[in-house]
Amino acid sequence: MSYIDKNLTAGETVLYRTRLHWVSILWSVVFAALFGIVGLLLVVVALSDIKGSGDAMWIGLFFIVVAAGLGFLGKLRRNSVEMAVTNKRVIIKVGLFSKRTIELFLAKVESIGVNQGILGRVLGYGSVVVRGTGGTAEPFKHVEHPEDFRHQVQHHMEVANEIVSSR
């Protein structure tokens, strides 16, 4: 069960979720692929029984294990960030073993900004900057669909303000 689902209050429901974009793990994937290819080539050389290739098998297997580890670490990094908008709050959790959380009531969100470069606009990622009233700006990089996240926060801030003003 995710951090967000475990920490919902009574009557609170998740309205929108996002996560890190695949670009955030690009280097892990690139290096995992390189180590994997080299490892496989070394194993093939060792299995082809070329003279003097005894150590190639162990080195190749080591490279394959390193490749799997890099891929696993990249996936872990991407899955360690949770971002959601609920009917009451904006919740952002970063980290797996040690974690940092930002939980702002919608009424306390002062502003939410999106920073996107050219590549971010093309691929659909960017940085989201959440600023709470009286607080400092909290930037989060490589967020998937940052403009959708901002739109959801703004929309649900308006809904929450309408509910409060109608009382």
Which string of DSSP letters, residue by residue, matches the chain?
A: --HHHHTPPTT--EEEEE-B-GGGGHHHHHHHHHHHHHHHHHHHHHHTT-TT-HHHHHHHHHHHHHHHHHHHHHHHHHHTEEEEEESSEEEEEE-SSS-EEEEEEGGGEEEEEEE--HHHHHHTEEEEEEEETTS-EEEEEEEESHHHHHHHHHHHHHHHHHHHHT-
- pTM, two decimal places: 0.79
How do the pLDDT tens digits run along the chain, 167 residues long?
A: 889 999 999 999 999 999 999 999 999 999 999 999 999 998 888 888 766 667 888 999 999 999 999 999 999 999 999 999 999 999 999 998 888 988 889 888 888 999 999 999 999 999 999 888 877 787 899 999 999 999 999 998 888 777 667 76
